[in-house]
Amino acid sequence: MRTCFFGLLVSVGVLGLANAQYDEPPAEDHGAAGNAYYENEAPPQYDAHHQDEGAREHHQPRDPLNQGRYQERSTFPRRTTYVAQNDTFTLPPYYYSITTTEKTIKINRRTYQQLLDAVISDGALKTPRVIEAFSKVDRGHFVHHLEDEPYGFMARKLGRGIYMEKPHLQARIIELLEPKIQEGAKVLDIGSGSGFMSCVFAELVGKTGRVFGVEHMREQCEDAWETVMRIRPDLLNDGRLHLRCRDGRTGLLHQAPFDAIYLSTYVPEIPYSILLQLKPGGRLVCGVGKSKSYHRMTVIDRSEDGTHFQKYEISLENFINPLINADEQNDNWLYQQSR
């Protein structure tokens, strides 16, 4: 009898404990948003100890362009994945790629021409000198060691969290910058990645111009150097193209001013310290926005007298690469690999 009564008490106690556990409000599940990788935060403040001499005074002044007008949250839908692992477009019947060797790239030279034809027919490439510059720099050489489809229409993953923009976006960007990239111009390419855009810029500025490609991921910078030395060593040898492995978040002050600046990244706000490195009459193009998926392709023109800037929002794009430091980019990449 005592045993039965004791067993009944134990059962009631266990049931009560179970109910108490389920009565507690469940812990808030932040999911992906709970991880800093998915937060739409502005890039961390640049370490003043590592800035170029003279850059500190220009890094954090009041920005006359935004003045808080674009601080509100984006109304566009947010996504946590922003690049498809496999292209889903239909390849044209003339497309083929057996291997990713340099030999195959040469065999498929006509395929790059077909890619250019598609970009031209879509209206992304218009200006004859821009078309000529694109045709002289084979995009396939810059991705052939990673991709079986070097002439695809999608963005290309280069490694370490770096992506090469889709060809249509690259074409539109260079078309926007072309009026400022004349013979003898000086161009800054921040986040040069594979080096493809820097090479096209170098074709446009000619032998008397200068292009500075800045990439902070050392492995990618070395890959870009090797690629350019293999396929277009003349651009490096004649001094028109310079590839630098360094943090580009404050620009390249000791080489300023520039006729054109391109940021291959998106930023919550355009760094004023970089705007000051534009020549009077110069132009900057970049993506602006806090979302990881949608950004406003923005053009900034500096007035001829250098006293003010004019902002134009062109279209909605996905720039993929954020403007962050190398350590944070590497950590983000390692996190993605572990998922």
Torsion of CA 29, 35, 39, 43, to 10 degrees: 160
pTM: 0.64
Instruction: Find all residues with CB under 8 Å of 54, minimum gap 6, and list them.
Output: 253, 254
Domains of the chain: 165-338 (3.40.50.150)
Question: Residue 207 has what DSSP assignment?
Answer: T
- Which residues pair with residue 286 across a beta bridge? 298
Strands 156-159 and 162-164: antiparallel
Are the C-beta atoms of 244 and 212 separated by less than 8 Å? Answer: yes
Question: Residue 178 has what DSSP assignment?
Answer: G
Residue 165, phi-psi category: left (phi > 0), alpha (psi -120 to 50), beta (remainder): beta
Task: Name the one residue in this structure whose structure tokens are 């999608």.
Answer: 154
Q: What is the pLDDT of residue 128?
A: 95
Instruction: Find all residues with CB under 8 Å of 76, minimum gap 6, and list them.
Output: 291, 293, 294, 316
The three-point CA angle 162-319-163 to 5° equals 20
What is d(CA 180, CA 183) in angstroms, rounded to the nearest whole number?
9
What is d(CA 235, CA 238) in angstroms, rounded to the nearest whole number?
6
Q: What is the pLDDT of residue 37?
A: 23
What is d(CA 132, CA 301) in angstroms, rounded to the nearest whole number?
25
pLDDT digits (tens, 9 = 90+) for 136-167: 998 888 875 555 566 766 676 776 667 777 88
pLDDT, averaged in runs of 10, over the chain (339 residues): 49 45 39 28 34 39 43 36 32 36 44 84 91 91 66 68 79 94 96 91 96 89 90 94 90 94 85 93 89 79 94 76 60 48
Q: What is the pLDDT of residue 181?
A: 96
- Which residues pair with residue 301 across a beta bridge? 283, 310
Q: What is the pLDDT of residue 322?
A: 65
Maximum separation of any 2 CA atoms in the chain, in Å: 104
Q: What is the pLDDT of residue 149?
A: 66
Are the C-beta atoms of 110 and 94 separated by less than 8 Å? Answer: yes
Please give the backbone phi and psi of residue 214, each rounded to the nearest 5 degrees, phi first.
-115, 125
